[in-house]
Structure 1
């Protein structure tokens, strides 16, 4: 037993040392461009340019080392290897009808995406095979995944304005929150709460996963400029016009500007450099 405790203690110390040597990166998109911010040095780098499309969403496959994104104007889901020692290059995965948001399912190696004007949620595997459309609704915008309970959450953006959830096969669909125009969805896996950005009001709110206990978290004080959000360790990263913001959910209205770009920001992803170790250890 003493030997086991010693080994466990040394492993914890080793992981902490790795953690200290790593630094998270914020990946975000503007029209035609994907950029990276080093959150320690605040330096900004262009990863990909001249992409020929608005990019409203990003998500990471830590297992294989790719970031996926929908190219709305080019009708395709694309990816690029990240991080990479060589110059970043784009690989098209699968065609889609004006895809606008996507989420990665690391448990079953699938990509789920929304098609704004067809009102479909579709999926394929990481290589672009086994495509299937699991659901059709009103116009659909944002999407996120509750990995633990296996629910997809999505927002309708047509004649109805709702947040709904559905099983991964398209069954058990029901409305979680009514009368909201939502462009960003994310789940806090610490507190297991749903966060959402109300686009027309610039308001960030959260609720229990079943839609109850709604809390006003933060207001950007800007209308129709905030799009993407990403929750990590109970911190929310969101876009607001040309600004990228960090909102600390444990403190009411505590926020600060991480970066102000020259172009309108759209999608945002917090890349956790520890994620590759977590994935490889499972």
Structure 2
């Protein structure tokens, strides 16, 4: 029993120590640069500069700790290790034709991306190998994955056909998820914990949502900006979205609240929330604590 109390005490101290230093950071892009905003301290730093491209989105490989992003104007996809105690450096993943959206499947270690004008959706391994075409559709823009249910969602931006479609991750069962009519969907994100999909309307700034089966479509929030609404990232009923030169935090509960948490001098494109607590839990799940026979008897 004494051993059991000691284990619990050590675990409590460990959790307290971790929580004191946990970091919640927003990774976002302006033209040619990727920045980091520490929500705990308010500090802003430049992670990467001189990227010579619009960067519309990010996604995170939590298994290997890499952030992936497409450079639409340079026709490639890059990654960099995050977090890092050293100077951030990019690695080439693959070339692509005006890549605009990217998403990571951590269960099977795959990268998915779409090409804006060719309407092609590709898959490859994390290092860019074994690349192949999943499907081809009308011109695309935004991309997200429902990992739990094995769906890929993407927005179609066409002069006559603006919709959100979904398909299986192997390219089968393609169907229109919802018809957004005249809306220009520039950002998509899944909140898997809550079972909702969110999207941003570029022109009006409407933040929309529905259930992951396409029902209960509604307006969640309307921003005060027009023709500059782009990236979003949903996380535990909180949506971070880039609107012009601002990042807004929209909390969805019985009453929806929205606050501007960061303002830049330039227009913001992609936005991604890095929650250290979430990734610490994932690491602990991948490396479970092992107990010997004595410890197991004490816990019985």
TM-score (norm: length of structure 2) = 0.89
Query: How far did residue 185 of structure 1 move?
Result: 0.6
Q: Which residue of 1 aligns with 2:229?
A: 226
C-alpha separation between the residues in 1 aligned to 2:104 and 2:29?
17
Structure with bigger gyration radius: 2
Query: How far did residue 14 of structure 1 move?
Result: 3.5
- Listed as ranges, the gaps of 5+ residues in structure 2 are 287-300
Range moving further from structure 2, 72-81 or 251-260? 251-260
| Secondary structure of 1:87's aligned partner | coil
**Which of 196, 200, 204 does residue 203 from structure 2 map onto?**
200
| Secondary structure of 2:269's aligned partner | strand
C-alpha separation between the residues in 2 aligned to 1:275 and 1:260?
26
Q: Which residue of 1 aligns with 2:239?
A: 236
Note the 1:1-282 alignment, pairs <5 A: 11=11, 14-15=14-15, 17-159=17-159, 160-178=161-179, 179=181, 180-280=183-283, 281-282=285-286
| Secondary structure of 1:176's aligned partner | strand
Structure 1 residues 185 and 3, CA gap change in structure 2 (3 angstroms): farther
Structure 1 residues 104 and 12, CA gap change in structure 2 (3 angstroms): farther
Which 4+ runs in 1 deviate beyond 6 A?
Answer: 1-6
| Secondary structure of 2:73's aligned partner | helix
| Secondary structure of 1:227's aligned partner | strand
C-alpha separation between the residues in 2 aligned to 1:208 and 1:16?
36
C-alpha separation between the residues in 1 aligned to 2:86 and 2:157?
39
Range moving further from structure 2, 46-55 or 10-19? 10-19
C-alpha separation between the residues in 1 aligned to 2:166 and 2:173?
8
* Aligned 8 A contact 2:68 2:80 in 1: yes
Query: How far did residue 96 of structure 1 move?
Result: 0.6
Query: How far did residue 86 of structure 1 move?
Result: 1.1
- Listed as ranges, the gaps of 5+ residues in structure 1 are none
Query: How far did residue 210 of structure 1 move?
Result: 1.4
Q: Aligned residues, how many?
A: 282
Query: How far did residue 79 of structure 1 move?
Result: 0.6
C-alpha separation between the residues in 2 aligned to 1:20 and 1:213?
39
TM-score (norm: length of structure 1) = 0.94
